[in-house]
Amino acid sequence: MNIFSDRFSFNLCMKGKSNKLHIHQLDSMIIKASSLQSIAIITSDASIKNNIATSISHIHIFNQPLIKTLHHTAFVTSTEAKMFAIRYDINQATSKTNVSKIIIITDSIHAAKRIFNPSFYLFQNQSMAILGDLCHFFSKDLSNSIEFWECPSYLNWHLHKAVDVEMKAFNPTFVYLCKISWDYSKKSECDDISNIWKIMFQASDRKGKQFLNLLDDNSNTIKLSYVKGGL
């Protein structure tokens, strides 16, 4: 990203700035950008309701039908959901052959900034996938770029409000209600890791050749265990 540091920018809704001023800046940007075939304008939003994360995006490209996408899942944080929405938006926009500039309008500007922070390791899987798409996009042409515009929900700006209203109207129903919990998710994840470890150990040629004692006091094979969701 050091190579392409001049290809991405963030336009923040600064504290103390008039809401009307920021709305005017958004309107001016849209009027200028929406008439150009080479610009993809994306409005995105994500939230968690009843333990279910939902993300919705609208992709506007000149003289093309509006592209609407919706994703929902359980057992993730709001930041993960918002980063996934941004990841999908960028992936879709960069796949268009005629797009040279991407504009993402979101109320999750903090999540977008984490993509470009190499010291923030918590969501590196998402960040690396996004940066991979962007590096490929930037390498195609020296003029290719991306802009992130912050649009808090309280501004009620028309394009972002349309996404926000659609997202709030979506009400998914899970079949297995007993499984909609963070504890269940962590238990399932730890159980899967434990089972993979058992399979790998049983198939390993090095079994019994290490200095570790792999049997307990009753000569039973030691098993992985976890406390409060951690191995």
229 pLDDT band, cuts 50/70/90, is: very low
Are 172 and 207 contained in the same domain?
Answer: no
Give the model's pLDDT for residue 212: 56
Burial classification of residue 218, based on how many CB atoms lie within 10 Å of its CB (0-12 exposed, 13-18 middle, 19 or more buried): exposed
194 pLDDT band, cuts 50/70/90, is: confident
Is residue 3 situated within a structural domain? no
Is residue 2 situated within a structural domain? no
231 pLDDT band, cuts 50/70/90, is: very low
Are 19 and 87 contained in the same domain?
Answer: yes
HEC secondary structure over the chain: CCCCCCCEEEECCCCCCCHHHHHHHHHHHHHHHCCCCCEEEEEEEEEEECCEEEEEEEEEECCCCCEEEEEEEECCCHHHHHHHHHHHHHHHHHCCCCCCEEEEEECCHHHHHHCCCCCCCCCHHHHHHHHHHHHHHHHHCCCCEEEEEECCHHHCCHHHHHHHHHHHHCCCCCCCHHHCCHHHHHHHHHHHHHHHHHHHHHHCCCCCCCCCCCECCCCCECCCCCECCEC
The percent of residues in the chain predicted with pLDDT above 70, rounded, is 77
Lowest pLDDT segment from 7-11, 43-47, 73-77, 147-151? 73-77
Cβ atoms of residues 71 and 55 within 8 Å? yes
Give the model's pLDDT for residue 193: 74
Q: In what order do the strands lie in the sheet with 52-61?
A: 8-11, 145-150, 101-106, 39-49, 52-61, 67-74
In angstroms, the CA 89 to CA 108 distance is 13
Are 12 and 90 contained in the same domain?
Answer: yes
pLDDT digits (tens, 9 = 90+) for 53-112: 888 889 999 888 888 888 877 777 777 888 888 888 899 899 888 899 999 999 888 888
Lowest pLDDT segment from 23-27, 133-137, 175-179? 175-179
CATH of the domain at 86: 3.30.420.10
26 pLDDT band, cuts 50/70/90, is: very high
Are 76 and 141 contained in the same domain?
Answer: yes
Are 223 and 153 contained in the same domain?
Answer: no
Q: Mean pLDDT, the chain, as a whole number?
A: 80
Is residue 186 situated within a structural domain? yes
Q: Which of the two residues, 196 and 183, has the higher pLDDT score?
A: 196
Q: Is the pLDDT of residue 175 over 60?
A: no
Range of the domain at 149: 8-176
Cβ atoms of residues 53 and 74 within 8 Å? yes
Are 155 and 192 contained in the same domain?
Answer: no
Number of domains comprising the chain: 2
Token pair of 46 as six digits: 């994500």
